[in-house]
Structure formats: structure tokens, C-alpha cells
A = this chain, B = another copy of it.
Amino acid sequence: MERTLKVLDGKWTTLIVRELLSGPKRFGDLRAAMGSPSAKTLTDRLRALEHQRILTRTVYAEVPPRVVYQLTEEGESLSDVLDAMLRWGEAHPLTED
């Protein structure tokens, strides 16, 4: 459990994994899909996930260079956790009170 808590540390990290589960993405697309966290927040979270071998960062030597983020196998295997979170969230929606 400790590793899971270290990896899925907070809202943004979980949303990054959810977005990348639908395929590799570039920084800008990822940021837009996640409700535009600050560039610094997103950069820090991506770097932490890269360090934990949950995703890879590939730079394509084009002009301008293209940077793509993609889940590793370990990252992909988080889908069970994300699915369980999604199901629970749908069964217990936020109620404004």
C-alpha cells in the first residue's frame, strides 16, 4: 500500500495517470485535459512519476522538439486502481451541502 500512496500522491498525480491511460500525450494536451494545473505543478508531478518509473518522457529531435509522456507497464497496471476509484466516484457523487 505504501508504494501506491507514494505514487498516487494527491489529485494531480492521479489525474495524470488517468489521462495517460488513454494513450501517450504531450505536455500541453495533458495540461489542458487536466483542468490546467500550473506548468510548475505539472512538471514536478511528471518528474516524480518518471522517477518512480510510472511513465517515460521521450524527446523527439524535431523542430521544435516534441516531448511525449507515456505510461510504462507499471503505470498501465494502475488501471485497476483508477477503475475502482472511477466506479466509487460514480456511485457516490459529490453532493453540494
A residues in contact (CB < 8 Å) with B: 1-6, 8-11, 14-15, 18, 74, 77-78, 80-89, 91-94
Contacts and interface: CB of A to CB of B under 8 A. Distances in A.
Contacts of A88: 3-4, 77-78, 80-81
A92 to B, nearest CB: 5
Contacts of A4: 85-86, 88-89, 92
B6 A94 contact: yes
A1 to B, nearest CB: 4
15 contacts: A2-B89, A2-B94, A3-B92, A3-B93, A3-B94, A4-B85, A4-B89, A5-B85, A6-B94, A10-B10, A77-B91, A77-B92, A80-B84, A81-B81, A83-B84
A18 B3 contact: no
Nearest 5 CB-CB pairs, A to B?
A84-B84, A4-B89, A4-B85, A1-B89, A81-B84
Given A1-B86, A2-B89, 15 more contacts: A1-B82, A2-B94, A3-B88, A3-B89, A4-B85, A4-B89, A5-B11, A9-B10, A77-B88, A77-B91, A77-B92, A78-B88, A80-B88, A81-B85, A84-B84
